[in-house]
Amino acid sequence: MYNLYTLKNGLRIVTEYIEHVNSVSVGVMVQNGSRNEKPEVNGISHFIEHMFFKGTDKRTAKEIVGDIENVGGQINAFTSKDATCYYVKALNTHLDLSLDVLSDMILHSKFDPEEIEKEKGVVIEEINMSEDTPEDVLDDLHSKAIFGENSLARPILGTIDKVKSFNREKIVDFIYNHYTPHNSVLSICGKFDEKELNYLIEKYFSKWESSKIYVPEYDTPILLNDSKYAEKKIEQLHIDLGLKGLPYAHEKGYALVLLNNIFGGGASSILFQKVREELGLCYTVYSYPQPYKGVGVFNIYTSLSKQYADKALSVIDRELKLFANGGISKELLDINKEKIKASYILGLESTASRMFANAKCVMLQNKIKTQEDVINRINNINNDDIEYVLEECFKPGIISTAYVGQKVDYKKLNTIVNNSKEAYDNSSKIAKIKI
């Protein structure tokens, strides 16, 4: 059972009651991430995520996590390009404590200058760790290739120089402008007493006030036809190929999910069977959509020995063209409807997953997307939807590339996919107009 309402201070509340569990997941999701940052403070959203765990007026950093972990619960947070989320999962008997700790963090953190300086070292090490991870380097690199100067191209962690420049004044000012009840959602999923829950929400979150109403607005992204390369002393070559995707909540979004499942979404997919199983060129190859508000990207990833890169890119490009122009049979359509329904339903067995999904839907669409809604949308995918996505996303082909490896002639590799990039540039013109 779902419930959606708004407190007087503008904070949106979404709850989902589940009778058969004995746990509850509580999360505060704020529509603020690296996409909301100006270049001079890139990375501050992620840094603030860390700082909310560093002590409040009534709890030390150790007590924040200890109060939850001592009752067997879990407390954590994450920052993405468009959101930051702070969450607790615990037994439903500890709902009061969960809301108390989260509200204390959000509303009463001290941002002690000494703790800020210590945490800079922690985040810098996180950046160093990311720089040692080829997949992370590749993801940031490809974002720059396809988004250029748009804020979606900026790394979530920021840079070491930017992190060193953060101070209490910058942090408090950013929170004042970007952390308001109006761009935040409190999401609760699990077993609870509704009357008690309403009382606790009022108790802990009604005092969250802000004189500023912040409604995020983003520059309209332009998808660029570009390529990036990073030299790394590693054994494999990591490749990311970018196609046009669909934005978050697009009406044809489930058709893209279905087509991705067939093309590169699992061990039975075209990419896996052709590139790995039949030719043995790699261990890992897959595709995945990246939907954002207003724009989407569709990615193809593989990592392999650079001596096989030419062959792998040729096969991927060939299979992409065959798939885009060949369409799918009714049998394949029906099979993959069942696959993505099963994947969705299995994911819902976690109260945390449901809490996150509800929060994001309310945050970006201001509505609840029920399980029945999703299943109906999947069941109603038809040939027109499939043709639309093939035309919009697959037929234009590869429009951007990124490579991470050692002593790689990436310009030579790009010649293999240049026909796709030229077709995108000359026929659809998507790279030169606003999405």
Q: What is the largest CA-CA distance in the chain?
A: 65
**What are the start-end ranges of the E strands in 139-179?**
none
Per the CB < 8 A criterion, the answer to whether 282 and 308 are in contact is: yes
Q: In what order do the strands lie in the sheet with 400-405?
A: 227-231, 400-405, 237-244, 295-304, 284-292
Which is the catalytic residue, given 16, 37, 49, 392?
Answer: 49
Per the CB < 8 A criterion, the answer to whether 312 and 302 are in contact is: yes
Question: Which residues neighbour 244 within 8 Å (Cβ) at sequence distance 6 or greater?
Answer: 223, 296, 297, 298, 392, 393, 396, 399, 424, 428, 430
Q: How far apart are CA 82 and CA 171, in angstroms?
A: 18
The number of beta carbons lying within 10 Å of the beta carbon of residue 189 is 29
49 has catalytic annotation: yes
Q: 261 by DSSP, 3-state: which?
A: helix
Rounded to the nearest 10°, the torsion over CA 218, 221, 227, 233 is: 20
Q: How far apart are CA 275 and CA 327, in angstroms?
A: 20
Question: Which residues neighbour 43 within 8 Å (Cβ) at sequence distance 6 or greater?
Answer: 34, 37, 123, 155, 156, 157, 158, 159, 162, 163, 166
Q: How far apart are CA 31 and CA 365, in angstroms?
A: 12
Per the CB < 8 A criterion, the answer to whether 427 and 419 are in contact is: no
- C-alpha distances (whole Å) from 6 to each of 10, 86, 184, 209 are 6, 19, 11, 13
Q: Give catalytic residues, as residue numbers.
A: 49
